[in-house]
Chain A
Amino acid sequence: GQQLNQSPQSMFIQEGEDVSMNCTSSSIFNTWLWYKQDPGEGPVLLIALYKAGELTSNGRLTAQFGITRKDSFLNISASIPSDVGIYFCAGQSYNTDKLIFGTGTRLQVFP
C-alpha cells in the first residue's frame, strides 16, 4: 500500500540532544498524526495536527503541519533514554477515515 516518506530512517543520539524528523507526501492531507511505538507494543498517539501551518507541543515534543499540507515535522528536545522507540507519522486525507503511515524513524538514545 501507499506509504509516506519519513526521514531519517534511524538516529543514534546522545542523551540531552535535540531530535528532528520529517514526513513528506505527494498527496495533500488534512490531518497529520505522530505516533511512537515501543518494542512489543502498539503505536501510541503523541500529537495530532489539523490545520496547515499549525504548530503543536506536547511536553518536549513539538510537531508542525506543513503549509503545503504535504509534509510534517516532529522535534524532540533534550532527549532522554525513554525516548527510544520507533516514531511514525500518519496522514489522513479528506473524506476518509483511513490513515497512511510513514516508513518510521528508529531512535536510539545513548546516556
Chain B
Amino acid sequence: SAVISQKPSRDICQRGTSLTIQCQVDSQVTMMFWYRQQPGQSLTLIATANQGSEATYESGFVIDKFPISRPNLTFSTLTVSNMSPEDSSIYLCSVYPASREQFFGPGTRLTVL
C-alpha cells in the first residue's frame, strides 16, 4: 500500500478565487490521479497526473480550470481555478504503487461561497 497525504484537508473559498491542493505520497509511484466527489455523489476522474508531461484530462474537465503539476514521482498539485459554488466538492488524489490496487488520499473538502 501507500501512505498519501493531502493539504489542505478542507477550505472555504470565495467565488472567483483559486485553490491549489497538494498530494504527497510516501513512495515513488508512476500513476497518480485526481478525482472529484460532488456532495452525495460518487467519484469522477478529473485527470491523470503524468510526471514530466502534461496531465491527461477526462471528458468534461479542462486544463484551464484544473491545472495539474507533477514535478516528481511522489508529489502532485491540483488547482481549482476561478471557483464557483458548483466547484464545492471533495477532491481526492489516488496512486498506483507497485501492487495492482489504487489507493486514495484523505481528500480535500472544498466549499465555495
Distance, CA A90 to CA B103, complexed state (A): 12
A41 with B101: in contact, given A1-B59, A97-B96, A104-B42 (CB under 8 Å)? Answer: no
User: Chain B, 33-55, contact with A by CB distance < 8 Å: what is the 0/1 string?
Assistant: 10000000111110010000000
Q: Count the A-B residue pairs with Cβ separation under 8 angstroms: how many?
A: 52
Q: Which of A3, A40, A97, A102 contacts B109 (CB 8 A)?
A: A40
A42 with B105: in contact, given A1-B59, A99-B45 (CB under 8 Å)? Answer: yes
Given contacts A33-B101, A42-B92, A99-B43, 6 further A-B contacts (CB under 8 A): A1-B59, A3-B42, A42-B107, A97-B96, A97-B102, A104-B42
A residues neighboring B (CB under 8 Å): 1, 3, 31, 33, 35, 40-45, 48, 50, 88, 90, 97-99, 101-104
A-B contact pairs, 16 of them (CB 8 A): A1-B45, A41-B107, A42-B105, A45-B103, A48-B101, A50-B100, A90-B102, A97-B31, A97-B33, A97-B48, A97-B96, A98-B33, A99-B102, A103-B42, A104-B41, A104-B42
